[in-house]
Amino acid sequence: MSEILTGRGRLRFAVLATAAALALAACSGPAGQSGSGSPAASGAKVQTIKAGVLMIGSQQSYVPGEYVDPADGKLKGFSYEIIEEIAKRLGMTTEWVQADYSALISGLEAQHYDVSSGGMSPNPDRLKLADMVGYFQSGSTFLLRKADASKYTDAQSLCGHQVGLLAGSSTLKAAFERENAACATAGKAKIELVEYTSTPLGQQDLLSERIDAYTPDPLQAAKIVASDPTQYAWTEKYNLTPYTLNFSVLKDKNPELVKAIYSTLEELIKDGFYAKALEKYQATTGALTEPAYNGEIGAKP
């Protein structure tokens, strides 16, 4: 996913992680407490498909961002808790709509929901169709079979091999186009991409040796490896393409909703709710000190 982190957003992943850690240490407000002590006033101005309801489209398989917990069948995750709190502070209830990752933007266009979530990155094609509020610094890495932990260390080591990714990951595809150009220059065969509608399907094919690597974000990779270190490994020190994760709203159709999400997220960062949500899911290394807008950290809608 070759992101357009421009201006102040053009920061290296490691620098962001360090700044985020300092910001988290400074956050002291109790979880769930609004800085204003009441739902954001802007919530009264926001129009949604169903009055008083924020409908959210999500793939519901992005671990640990937003996913269905098989133990109890409930939605969980740090981005789930963040957008739920945003809706609460805007005086709204929520309604979650499951959608494949590749269909999240088209679902916005069809007005199946007001906001799309679940690991969406701000590449140029998406920004033509949606306005995006960034809430997390992420990227992409490689999930491997344990036996291949030292065999594949970066994209170039996978020239001539099959690599899985989520269908609709156009940013990742652009990154692999650049990597394939480097493969060709080095006289190697190109990386063959295999698309999946969900990460669990990619995991299955990885263990079945139908692909040699799968391309999740670092948090997903770490979670998967921790759950079964006897079968999985990941390229922990490698980030193919850093990018922000975003809540997306149909382009130019609901500017008040975009502003309300942005300002409420800003409030969550300041009062400490945001930090506690990330800490709960061991996701603090991707924290932002301020929201992003359309791929630019610190920009405002």
pLDDT tens track for 127-161: 999 999 999 999 999 999 999 999 999 999 999 99
Q: Say whether both 71 and 95 belong to one domain.
A: yes
Q: Say whether both 204 and 57 belong to one domain.
A: no
Residue 36's pLDDT is what? 37
Average pLDDT over residues 255-283: 97
Nearest to 96, CA basis, from 60, 49, 134, 48 = 60
Q: Say whether both 254 and 221 belong to one domain.
A: no
For the cut 80, the answer to whether the pLDDT of residue 11 exceeds it is no
List the domain range (segments joined by +) for residue 225: 143-234
- State pTM to two decimals: 0.72
Q: Give strand pairing partners of 131.
A: 249
In angstroms, the first-to-last Cα distance of the chain is 23
Q: Say whether both 118 and 253 belong to one domain.
A: yes
CB hemisphere CA count around 281 (13 angstroms): 25
Q: Say whether both 275 and 230 belong to one domain.
A: no
